[in-house]
Copies of this chain bind each other. A is one copy, B any other.
């Protein structure tokens, strides 16, 4: 009987590399489907977690970064030029009802990103970054009056490399103990779906204006597509 060939170190590395690539693709697809992130920082009187809009872009071949902005970023950055953060995006997909509460759960897609956020200072780079955040949900940058230099000056934009990132996903049926499988209890899943509704014009619109195409196309769609 011949032994099966042991994995070579090249194969092992390739498998590791493939797993890493697959994981980063999973991370990016969940970040693409999310709408807000919860961003945590450490302060002198404890941790603080705030909800924030975000964007994602490629910065070099295969390398990505997450962008966040706003007054919240201002408050976070008071400490200095860079900031250790944790940025988490979670999409809840369903309530998992098991045969016993210990195995109840939720179906979800989540990503945790850890890293150092640094400020983008150069005005043109800032503008480009703001556009990425603005257009994360729908490409509406071009449908509006472009920001002025003053607008851009007032906004702090931070970038976090997408390197230390992991995805965690739960999907499917409850998983119960064998001892409970012949019991009388129902088990299953109640799916949760988030949907964009039809655009509602502002009540103070002074001019008759058509709903821009990217806004119109958002209406009726799943907010967190797989």
Residues of A within 8 A of B (CB): 35-36, 38-42, 46-51, 53, 84-88, 90, 92, 94-95, 97-102, 104, 106, 108, 110, 112, 114, 130-131, 134, 137-138, 140-141, 143-148, 151, 154-155, 173-174, 180-207, 209-212, 215, 218-219, 223
Instruction: State whether A189 touches B202 (Cβ < 8 A).
Output: yes
- Residue numbers in B under 8 Å from A39 (CB-CB): 49
- Residue numbers in B under 8 Å from A143 (CB-CB): 97, 185-186
**Most chain B CB within a 10 A radius of its CB, from A46, A99, A173:** A46
10 shortest interchain CB distances as A-B pairs: A40-B40, A38-B38, A40-B49, A186-B209, A191-B197, A51-B90, A102-B151, A40-B47, A100-B145, A173-B202
18 extra interface residue pairs, beta carbon distance < 8 Å, beyond A50-B88, A100-B144: A35-B192, A38-B51, A38-B88, A40-B47, A42-B42, A47-B85, A51-B88, A99-B145, A100-B147, A101-B131, A101-B147, A101-B151, A102-B151, A173-B204, A181-B204, A190-B215, A193-B194, A195-B195
Instruction: State whether B194 touches A47 (Cβ < 8 A).
Output: no
Instruction: State whether B40 touches A48 (Cβ < 8 A).
Output: yes
Number of copies of this protein chain within its complex: 2
Instruction: State whether B206 touches A182 (Cβ < 8 A).
Output: yes
Residue in B42, B131, B145 whose CB lies within 8 Å of A180: B145
- Residue numbers in B under 8 Å from A146 (CB-CB): 100-101
Given the known A-B contacts A49-B112, A86-B47, A88-B51, are A98 and B186 also in contact in the complex, defined by CB atoms under 8 Å? no
Instruction: State whether A186 touches B200 (Cβ < 8 A).
Output: no
Q: Which residue of B lies closest to A187 (CB)?
A: B202
The smallest beta-carbon distance between A196 and chain B, in angstroms, is 5
Instruction: State whether B36 touches A223 (Cβ < 8 A).
Output: no
